[in-house]
Amino acid sequence: MAEELEKSMPKEESLMDKIAEKIHDHDSSSSSDSEHEKPESPSALKAKIYRLFGREKPVHKVLGGGLPADVFLWRDKKLSASVLGVATAIWVLFELVEYHFLSLVCHILIFALAALFLLSNAHAFMNKTPPKIPEIHIKEEHFLMIVSALRNELNQAFVILRSIALGRDLKKFLMVVVGLWIISVVGNWFTFLTLLYICFVVLHTVPMLYEKHEDKVDPVAEKTLKELKKHYMVFDEKVLSKLPIASLKAKLG
């Protein structure tokens, strides 16, 4: 009996080992499945979050990249502060001190020409070589590129205005009318230079603040846009759909 028990014990142990191996294999496979079923990483979820105006690029690239974007986003704090300081000085000079632009240009030219004239004569009097004044030339290629870009923008604006004037897009027509009305109202509050300065300050503050708090701003903007779309749909259903736009489009088409 003892021998039979000894023979049966290894078989039972081997059977238990096989069962344990199967359980281990099942656990490892279930753990691997659970790893595949794990939620996406925070970076992947962050990429799926709604972004303002449906943008897919970072704010730096949206602003054009390069040095202008660095200035607006305060990547170089000294340069950004210097640019904003110069803009503020110009606004104070023309708005608060009421200095005239033409007078400023003439005074700067008078000072520069007088300084260079005296410096050149002083070097000639002391038998020294006169200072080298660089020749300034505007390259034709750069000038044509700027004019061409401006021409394209103007042509695109004229196309949009023509399509609105022909009554093809009521939504654009209302947006342009409301936008022009807002600009006219704001224009009564400020002078043109003050309005430019306000826009400049906004460009130097809003993008930088938005980049820091975009994860908080974007959900609020998404809710706001949804509410605006709901109100527009109600307005479209109750007002715009009742206007004889379809017949006018058929006649124009």
> Which tens digit of pLDDT belongs to each residue from 107-118?
999 999 999 889
Identify the CA nearest to 84 among candidates 199, 193, 201, 194: 201
252's CB contacts (< 8 A; 6+ apart) are 166, 167, 168
Residues 70, 211: Cα–Cα separation, whole Å: 12
CB–CB of 66/80 below 8 Å?
no
Chain-wide mean pLDDT for the chain? 75
How many other C-beta atoms are found inside a 10 Å radius of the C-beta of residue 224?
Answer: 10
Single-letter amino acid, residue 126: M
Residues 225, 51: Cα–Cα separation, whole Å: 12
Q: For position 1, what pLDDT does the model report?
A: 45
Q: For position 49, what pLDDT does the model report?
A: 60
% of the chain beyond a pLDDT of 90: 11
Tell me the mean pLDDT in the region 62-82: 84
Secondary structure of the chain as H, E, C letters: CHHHHHHHHHHHHHHHHHHHHHHHHHHHHHHHHHHHCCCCCHHHHHHCCCCHHHCCCCHHHHCCCHHHHHHHCCCCHHHHHHHHHHHHHHHHHHHHCCCCHHHHHHHHHHHHHHHHHHHHHHHHHCCCCCCCCCCCCCCHHHHHHHHHHHHHHHHHHHHHHHHHHCCCCHHHHHHHHHHHHHHHHHHHHCCHHHHHHHHHHHHHHHHHHHHHCHHHHHHHHHHHHHHHHHHHHHHHHHCHHHCCHHHHHHHHC
Tell me the mean pLDDT in the region 20-37: 47
- Tell me which of 64-73, 136-145, 148-157, 244-253 is least confident: 244-253
197's CB contacts (< 8 A; 6+ apart) are 87, 88, 91, 95
What own/partner pairs with CB < 8 Å and gap ≥ 24 does 164-167 have? 166/252, 167/245, 167/248, 167/249, 167/252
pLDDT at position 176 over 80 = yes
Tell me the mean pLDDT in the region 160-189: 83
Single pTM value for the model: 0.56
From residue 98, alpha-carbon distances to 87, 89, 175, 238 in Å are 15, 12, 36, 51
Residues 60, 211: Cα–Cα separation, whole Å: 9
CB–CB of 223/230 below 8 Å?
no
Q: For position 52, what pLDDT does the model report?
A: 65
From residue 24, alpha-carbon distances to 13, 20, 30, 33 in Å are 16, 6, 10, 14
pLDDT at position 151 over 80 = yes
